[in-house]
Structure 1
Amino acid sequence: MPGVLSEATTSELSEALLTGASPERIERLPLPAEFLAAHLKAEDADMFRGVEDKDVRKSLRVGRVPMPELAPDEVVVAVMASSINYNTVWSAMFEPIPTFRFLSQFARQGGWASRHDLPHQVVGSDGAGVIVRVGSGVRHWKVGDHVVVSPAYVDDQEPASHADGMLGAEQRAWGFETNFGGLAEYSVVRVNQLVPKPAHLTWEEAACNTLCAGTAYRMLVSDRGARMKQGDVVLVWGAAGGLGGYAVQFVRNGGGIPVGVVGSPEKAEALRALGCEIVIDRSEIGLTADVADDPARVIEVGRRLGGIIRERVGRDPDIVFEHVGRATFGVSVFVVRRGGVVVTCGSSTGYHHLFDNRYLWMKLKRIIGSHVANLQEQWDTNRLLELGAVVPTMSAVYPLSDVAEAARVVQTNQHIGKIAVLCGAPRTGLGVTDPRLRARIGEDRLNPLRGRSPGPGEV
Structure 2
Amino acid sequence: MDTLAEAVIAGAPPEELLSIPLPDRFLAAHLRAGDAGMFEGETDKDVRRSLHVGAVGMPVLAPDEVVVAVMASSINYNTVWSAMFEPISTFDSLRRYARQGGYATRHDLPYQVVGSDAAGVVVRVGDGVRHWNVGDHVMISPAYVDDQDPRGHADAMMGPYGRAWGYETNFGGLAHYTVVRATQLVPKPAHLTWEEAASITLCAGTAYRMLVSEAGARIKQGDIVLIWGATGGLGGYAVQMVKNGGGVAVGVVSSEAKAHILREQGCDVIIDRREIGMGDGDSAGDAIEYGKRLGRRIRAELGEDPHVAFDYVGRATFGTSVHVVRRGGAVVTCGSSTGYQHEYDNRYLWMNLKRIIGSHIANLQEQWETSRLFRQGGLVPILTDVFPLADTAEALRLVQENRHVGKVGVLALAPHEGTGVTDPDLRARIGEDRITAWRAYATTTARV
Name the TM-score class by shorter chain. over 0.9
Which runs of structure 1 show a deviation greater than 4 angstroms over 4 or more consecutive aligned residues?
none
Question: Which structure has the higher relative contact order (CA within 8 Å, separation 6+)?
Answer: 1
Instruction: For residue 243 of structure 2, give the secondary structure of its aligned residue in structure 1.
Output: helix
1:39 aligns with 2:58: no
Q: How many residues align?
A: 447
Q: Following TM superposition, by how much is the alpha carbon of 1:274 offset from its aligned partner in structure 2, in angstroms?
A: 2.4
Whether the aligned pair in 2 keeps the contact of 1:236 and 1:259 (CA below 8 Å) is yes
Write out per-residue CA displacement over residues 335-373 of structure 1, whole angstroms, 9 at most, x where no aligned residue: 000000000000111111111111101110000000000
**Could you say which residue in structure 2 is the equivalent of 1:6?**
none
AA paired with 1:327? A
AA paired with 1:133? R
Aligned counterpart in structure 1 of residue 290 of structure 2, from 284, 301, 319: 301
Write out per-residue CA displacement over residues 282-311 of structure 1, whole angstroms, 9 at most, x where no aligned residue: 1111110x4212x33221111110011011
1:291 aligns with 2:281: yes
TM-score between both structures, scaled by the size of structure 2:
0.98
Instruction: For residue 223 of structure 1, give the secondary structure of its aligned residue in structure 2.
Output: coil
Where does structure 2 lack aligned partners over 5 or more consecutive residues? none
**Could you say which residue in structure 2 is the equivalent of 1:406?**
395
**Could you say which residue in structure 1 is the equivalent of 2:225?**
234
Aligned counterpart in structure 2 of residue 349 of structure 1, from 338, 361, 366: 338
**Could you say which residue in structure 2 is the equivalent of 1:390?**
379
AA paired with 2:302? V
**Could you say which residue in structure 2 is the equivalent of 1:148?**
139
Aligned counterpart in structure 1 of residue 161 of structure 2, from 151, 167, 170: 170
Q: Following TM superposition, by how much is the alpha carbon of 1:454 offset from its aligned partner in structure 2, in angstroms?
A: 2.6
Write out per-residue CA displacement over residues 123-156 of structure 1, whole angstroms, 9 at most, x where no aligned residue: 0000000000000000000000000000000011
Write out per-residue CA displacement over residues 3-52 of structure 1, whole angstroms, 9 at most, x where no aligned residue: xxxxxx2x322221122111011111111111100000000000000000
1:22 aligns with 2:21: no
Whether the aligned pair in 2 keeps the contact of 1:250 and 1:390 (CA below 8 Å) is yes
Instruction: For residue 121 of structure 2, give the secondary structure of its aligned residue in structure 1.
Output: strand
Q: Distance in 1 between matches of 2:285 and 2:32?
A: 44
AA paired with 2:250? V
Write out per-residue CA displacement over residues 314-352 of structure 1, whole angstroms, 9 at most, x where no aligned residue: 210000001100100110000000000000000111111
CA RMSD of aligned residues (A): 1.0
Q: Following TM superposition, by how much is the alpha carbon of 1:279 offset from its aligned partner in structure 2, in angstroms?
A: 0.8
Q: Distance in 1 between matches of 2:21 and 2:264?
A: 45
Q: Distance in 1 between matches of 2:155 and 2:386?
A: 34
AA paired with 1:364? L
Q: Following TM superposition, by how much is the alpha carbon of 1:312 offset from its aligned partner in structure 2, in angstroms?
A: 0.9
Q: Following TM superposition, by how much is the alpha carbon of 1:456 offset from its aligned partner in structure 2, in angstroms?
A: 5.9
1:381 aligns with 2:358: no
AA paired with 2:355? R
Q: Distance in 2 between matches of 1:296 and 1:159?
A: 44
Whether the aligned pair in 1 keeps the contact of 2:75 and 2:115 (CA below 8 Å) is yes
AA paired with 2:147? D
Aligned counterpart in structure 1 of residue 357 of structure 2, from 348, 368, 383: 368
AA paired with 2:79? T
1:329 aligns with 2:318: yes
Q: Distance in 2 between matches of 1:31 and 1:408?
A: 32
- Correspondence list, 1:49-448, <5 A: 49-288=40-279, 290-293=280-283, 295-448=284-437
Whether the aligned pair in 1 keeps the contact of 2:26 and 2:57 (CA below 8 Å) is yes
Write out per-residue CA displacement over residues 431-457 of structure 1, whole angstroms, 9 at most, x where no aligned residue: 000001111111110022104233366
Q: Distance in 2 between matches of 1:386 and 1:452?
A: 23
Instruction: For residue 105 of structure 2, give the secondary structure of its aligned residue in structure 1.
Output: helix
Q: Distance in 2 between matches of 1:216 and 1:101?
A: 28
**Could you say which residue in structure 2 is the equivalent of 1:4?**
none
TM-score between both structures, scaled by the size of structure 1:
0.96
Instruction: For residue 160 of structure 2, give the secondary structure of its aligned residue in structure 1.
Output: coil
Q: Identity rate of aligned residues, in percent?
A: 67
Whether the aligned pair in 2 keeps the contact of 1:263 and 1:283 (CA below 8 Å) is yes
Instruction: For residue 48 of structure 2, give the secondary structure of its aligned residue in structure 1.
Output: helix
Stretch of structure 1 that moved more, 391-400 or 295-304 = 295-304
Whether the aligned pair in 1 keeps the contact of 2:386 and 2:446 (CA below 8 Å) is no
Whether the aligned pair in 1 keeps the contact of 2:387 and 2:446 (CA below 8 Å) is no
**Could you say which residue in structure 2 is the equivalent of 1:5?**
none
Write out per-residue CA displacement over residues 65-107 of structure 1, whole angstroms, 9 at most, x where no aligned residue: 0000100000000000000000000000000000001100000
Q: Distance in 2 between matches of 1:154 and 1:246?
A: 24
Instruction: For residue 189 of structure 1, give the secondary structure of its aligned residue in structure 2.
Output: strand
Q: Distance in 2 between matches of 1:457 and 1:420?
A: 11
AA paired with 1:56? V
Write out per-residue CA displacement over residues 240-265 of structure 1, whole angstroms, 9 at most, x where no aligned residue: 00000000000000000000000111
AA paired with 1:271? L
Instruction: For residue 305 of structure 2, give the secondary structure of its aligned residue in structure 1.
Output: coil
AA paired with 1:350? G
Whether the aligned pair in 1 keeps the contact of 2:385 and 2:446 (CA below 8 Å) is no
